[in-house]
Amino acid sequence: MARLTFAEAARRALAEEMRRDPLVWALGEDLQQGGIFGQYKGLAEEFGPERIVSTPISESTIMGAGLGAALCGTRPVIEMRIADFALCAMDELVSQIAKVRYMFGGQGRASLVVRMPQGIWRNSAAQHSQCLEAWLTHIPGLVVAAPGTPADAAGMLKAAIRSDDPVVLLEPKNLWTTEGEVEDGTEPLPFGVARPAARGDGATVVTWSACVPVVEQAARDSGVACDVFDLRSLWPWDEAAVIGSARRTGRLLVVHEAVTVSGFGAEVVARVVEALGPGALHAVERLGAPRAPVPFSPVLEAAMRMTPERVAAAIRRIAG
């Protein structure tokens, strides 16, 4: 067991997978310089420029090259630098990568990982702070994972690399420097299995990604003993665990960094209500960002962020 930052846990996991399987390689902007968050630091020295590939600034080319390489039998790790930049490569991701296995009857598979660091990160403004998770979960053919701890960053990256389906890994920019305990030789984490972070009968609270430490702190501060679930993956997601908890508590709160309108929290609430039926829940609430661009101003940006105080107040409201 070691105490590692989110970035170092992911870096170590990628290195271990590259040592395990010579078909694993990575491509993206500035990877040979270590990547924007240091998550590739030192890998070029160990694996060389043929497996840690720094590319031109052309997201569609990066995504398309990764797809072609996957169809030829390798397992590319495609680095999009930040999720916002992946918008330049959405045709390759949505129309090609997500559909190639279906359209060719399984004869070709896009066994690849697309890393998309997302969310707010130190005043990066409207074009560098978006959360695109709701878009991506809407696309058939994609697995979507959103780890919120260093240990899960390592375990989910390993699972993504070994998956025969394309996996979009949404890594929270705001957590790259946070630390946590990570086991030596981390095993891959299965998709669709939530992590129970707390236990109690007062409410069911669901979250993922950058909001995980915020919600864990809020649950402690709220004075309400509640079930807290870190979903870890958004498609598939652990419906059984959340529905079972909501059936017991009768109260459901979903917290995410993304805009509330049409956010993935709406999917969670809808599935729970459909499963339990009308009147089964005494209180339901979604907590997320307003439908507004993320401002550059530190003061205005702070108003967009989830905080332990806001979440604790919401827990007390629904537990009422």
With b for 16 or more beta-carbon neighbours within 10 A and e for fewer, the 221-239 pattern comes to ebebebbbbbbbbbbebbb
pLDDT band at 182 (very low <50, low <70, confident <90, very high): very high
What residues does each domain of the chain span?
A: 2-182, 195-319
State yes or no: pLDDT of 204 exceeds 90.
yes
CATH number of 195-319: 3.40.50.920
* Both tokens assigned to 141: 């053919």
State yes or no: pLDDT of 237 exceeds 90.
yes
Q: What is the pLDDT of residue 240?
A: 98
Q: What is the pLDDT of residue 247?
A: 98
Q: Find the mean pLDDT for residues 239-262.
A: 98
Catalytic annotation, residues: 128
* Both tokens assigned to 296: 């550059």
Residues 168 and 92 sit within 8 Å (Cβ to Cβ): no
Residues 6+ apart with CB under 8 A from 42: 11, 34
pLDDT per residue as tens digits for the range 105-164: 999 999 999 999 999 988 889 899 999 999 999 999 999 999 999 999 999 999 999 999
Q: What is the pLDDT of residue 262?
A: 96
pLDDT per residue as tens digits for the range 59-91: 999 999 999 999 999 999 999 999 999 999 999
Backbone angles phi, psi at 147, to 5 degrees: -70, 150
The SS3 assignment for 287 reads strand
Superfamily of domain 2-182: Thiamin diphosphate (ThDP)-binding fold, Pyr/PP domains (3.40.50.970)
pLDDT band at 234 (very low <50, low <70, confident <90, very high): very high
Residues 25 and 74 sit within 8 Å (Cβ to Cβ): yes
Mean pLDDT score across all residues of the chain:
96
State yes or no: pLDDT of 58 exceeds 90.
yes
Q: Find the mean pLDDT for residues 312-317.
A: 98
Q: Find the mean pLDDT for residues 174-198.
A: 96
Q: How many CA atoms lie within 13 A of 63 on its CB side?
A: 26
Fold equal for 2-182 and 195-319: yes
Q: What is the pLDDT of residue 123?
A: 84
130: enclosing H helix or E strand: none
pLDDT band at 200 (very low <50, low <70, confident <90, very high): very high
Strands, DSSP E only, in the chain? 2-5, 24-28, 52-54, 75-79, 113-115, 143-145, 167-169, 179-182, 195-201, 204-207, 226-230, 233-235, 251-259, 283-289
Q: Find the mean pLDDT for residues 168-191.
A: 96
Q: Name the packing angle between helices 6-20 and 150-162 (round to 10°).
A: 30
Q: What is the pLDDT of residue 278?
A: 85
Number of H helices, E strands in the chain: 12, 14
Q: Find the mean pLDDT for residues 294-312.
A: 94
- The percent of the chain in helix, strand and coil, each rounded to the nearest 5, is 40, 20, 40
pLDDT band at 265 (very low <50, low <70, confident <90, very high): very high
The whole-angstrom separation of Cα 134 and Cα 94 is 13
Q: What is the pLDDT of residue 122?
A: 85
